[in-house]
Amino acid sequence: MSGLLLPILRRPSSLISTGFVVKSPQPLVQPQRHHLHYSYRLMSAKLKPAARVAGNRQDVWTIVNEAAAASPRQPIVNMGQGFFGYNPPEFILNAAKKALDRVECNQYSPTRGRPRLRKALSKAYAPHWGRELDPETEITITTGANEGMLSAFMAFIEPGDEVIVFEPFFDQYISNIEMPGGKIVYVPMHPPKEGHIKTLSASEWTIDFDELERAVTPRTKMLVINTPHNPVGKVFSRAELERIAELCVKNQIIILSDEVYDRLFYTPFTRMATLSPEVEKITLTVGSAGKNFYATGWRVGWLMGPAELIQYVAAAHTRICYSSVSPLQEACAIGFEEADQQGFWTQCIEDMQNKMSRFNAIWDELGLPYSIPEGGYFVMANLNKVEIPEGYPFPPHVAERPRDFKLAWFLIQELGVAAIPPSEFYTDVNAHIVEDWLRFAVCKPDEVLEDAKERLRGLKKFIKQ
Ligand SMILES: Cc1ncc(COP(=O)(O)O)c(C=O)c1O
C-alpha cells in the first residue's frame, strides 16, 4: 500500500523547483520582474515539503513500478506488491453492497468504530484469547492496520523515545514512528546460514537475543513485532515470543504486535497478547480486514488491547481521521459473523498453501533455494546462483543499490516478472544480509502463478551450477 503513497509524497520538491523557479511565467513590465522572481523564490522555499515526506532516494515501489511499466516484456506478471489478484468472497461482497443501501451506513461511524464490528471482532477472537474482549473499551477500529499503528505511535511516542524494530520491517513503520519524533533502534533478523544453498523453513530466520537486549535503553518505549512475518514468512515460536515479552515486561516496553496475517498460518501460531496477563497488559495487537478478507483497498483495521492503552490509540485516531469508512466496516462485521459457518478461515489457509506449493515448485525445478513460509502470502527466494551477465546495463538509481535491486530489475527486464528486493526493508548497514533474496507475493490467481513460473524458467540459462 505504501507504494501508492510514497511516489506521490516524495516528489513535490522537484516539481516545485521546476514549476516555480525555472519555468516562471513572463512578467508584463520590467520593474515587477525582480519582485516577481523574489516572491516566487520565497514561495518555492515556503512550499518546500517537510523532511519527513521529502526523501531523496527513490523508494522500492517507485523503482519496481517504473521498471515494470518500462519493461519490454509486457504485460508484466506483478508479484511485487502484496495486493490480491482476486475478489473477497461473495458473502462479504454482498454485505458491502447491501450496506451501501442503508442510510446510517453512509454516514460517520463512531470514532472507535461501528459497534457491530467491534462486537463481531470480540466474538471472533474469543476462541483465541480465551475470553471475549470488551467491545467498548478493548477494541478500536482504524483506517487499515497502517493508520491504526500510526495512531498507536502518535498515542505513546514523545520526541526522542526509542522504538525497537526488527529488520526486515514493514516500511510504513518507519515513517509512522518518525512522525511523532520517535527514534528507531533496529535489530536485524538473520537468514539461515545455509539459506543460499538449501531450502529451509522460514522459522530458521532468527534474531540474536543478545543484540536485542543491547538495543534496550531507558528510553525504549515500544517494540514492534510482526508475526506471521512480512516478508520472511516466519511465525515466531512461543519460546521466541516469551523471550521478547519477558524483556518488555521487565522494562515496561509497550509491544505493538502486528498480526495482520493472523488467519494465514501453516504452523501453530501464538498471539503475543495471550502469553500471560502481564504481557496482555502491555500489548497492542494489530489486525487488518484487508488481509483477512482479500480487500486491501477497503482500509479497515483495528487495534485490540487493554482499555488503558486503547483509549489513547482511539484518541489519536480521532484526531488523525476522526472515524473510518462506514459501509465497509458493516461488511467486515458480517464477514466476521459468518466466516466460521462459511468455513472461510480454513479455506483461506488451504487456498494460500496451495498457491505456495504451486508457485514454489518453480524454485525446486530450478534448483534455487527458498524459505518455506510458515504464514502469510510472501515467499523469499534466494537467487545467489543467478549470474547477471557482465556489464548488464542498470540505470544509476539501481546500480547504486544492493544486488537484490539489480536482480529485481533483471527479472523485470528479461522475464517480465516483478518481485521486491527486501534490502529496502533493512537499514543500509544491514542491507547486505538479504542481497541475494527476492520477495514474491503469491496472493494471485493460479493462472498468474503459472505464467510467472513459465517466465521464471527463463532463468535457467543464468544459473551457475
Ligand atoms: C506487516 C504488515 N503490517 C501492516 C500492513 C498494512 O495493513 P493495512 O493494509 O490494513 O493497512 C501490511 C500491508 O502490507 C503489512 O504487510
Sorting pLDDT into bands at 50, 70 and 90, what band is 449? very high
Cβ pair 217, 251 in contact under 8 A = no
Separation CA 123–CA 101 (nearest Å): 26
180 pLDDT higher than 50: yes
Mean pLDDT, residues 27-56 taken together: 61
Mean pLDDT, residues 413-434 taken together: 96
Element (H, E) at 378: strand 378-382
- Å from CA of 9 to ligand 1 middle: 19
User: What are the φ/ψ torsions at residue 211 (nearest 5 degrees)?
Assistant: -60, -40
Separation CA 67–CA 235 (nearest Å): 32
454 pLDDT higher than 90: yes
Distances from the Cα of 260 to the Cα of 9, 227, 286, 376, 407, angstroms:
25, 8, 6, 9, 28
pTM above 0.85, yes or no: yes
If one residue of 81, 147, 166, 170 were mutated to test the ligand 1 pocket, choosing by the most ligand atoms within 8 A of its CB, it would be 170
Q: Tell me yes or no: is domain 90-338 CATH 2.60.120.10.
A: no
Mean pLDDT, residues 24-50 taken together: 55
Alpha helices in 130-235 (DSSP H): 144-156, 172-178, 209-215
If one residue of 230, 232, 235, 286 were mutated to test the ligand 1 pocket, choosing by the most ligand atoms within 8 A of its CB, it would be 230
1 pLDDT higher than 50: no
Q: Give the architecture-level CATH label for domain 60-82+344-462.
A: Alpha-Beta Complex (3.90)
- Long-range Cβ contacts of 185-193 (<8 Å, 24+ apart): 185/215, 185/217, 185/220, 186/215, 186/427, 186/430, 187/211, 187/212, 187/215, 188/426, 188/430, 188/433, 189/232, 189/234, 190/433, 191/371, 191/382, 191/433, 191/434, 191/437, 192/371
Cell of 39: 516572491
Specify the ligand 1 atom closest to the Cα of 288.
10
Sorting pLDDT into bands at 50, 70 and 90, what band is 22? very low
Single out the residue of 25, 435, 118, 438 nearest to residue 307, CA to CA. 118
Separation CA 174–CA 184 (nearest Å): 7
Mean pLDDT, residues 195-224 taken together: 98
Sorting pLDDT into bands at 50, 70 and 90, what band is 33? very low
Sorting pLDDT into bands at 50, 70 and 90, what band is 39? low
**pLDDT tens digits for range 348-391:** 999 999 999 999 999 999 999 999 999 999 999 999 999 999 99
Sorting pLDDT into bands at 50, 70 and 90, what band is 56? low
Indicate whether residue 226 lines ligand 1 (CB < 6 A): yes
Sorting pLDDT into bands at 50, 70 and 90, what band is 19? very low
What percent of the chain is predicted at pLDDT more than 90?
Answer: 84
Single out the residue of 440, 424, 428, 432 nearest to residue 59, CA to CA. 424
Q: Helix, strand, or coil here: 221? A: strand
6 pLDDT higher than 60: no
16 pLDDT higher than 70: no
- pLDDT value at position 43? 65
Element (H, E) at 287: strand 283-288
Indicate whether residue 375 lines ligand 1 (CB < 6 A): no
Single out the residue of 226, 213, 160, 161 nearest to residue 187, CA to CA. 213
Indicate whether residue 295 lines ligand 1 (CB < 6 A): no
Going by the DSSP 8-state scheme, the letter that residue 216 receives in this structure is -
Indicate whether residue 301 lines ligand 1 (CB < 6 A): yes
Domain boundaries along the sequence of the chain:
2-53, 60-82+344-462, 90-338
93 pLDDT higher than 60: yes
- pLDDT value at position 55? 72
194 pLDDT higher than 90: yes
- pLDDT value at position 241? 98
- pLDDT value at position 343? 97
- pLDDT value at position 349? 98
Single out the residue of 152, 146, 105 nearest to residue 329, CA to CA. 105
- pLDDT value at position 455? 98
Mean pLDDT, residues 244-257 taken together: 98
Indicate whether residue 260 lines ligand 1 (CB < 6 A): yes
Mean pLDDT, residues 104-119 taken together: 98
- Total H helices, total E strands in the chain: 18, 14
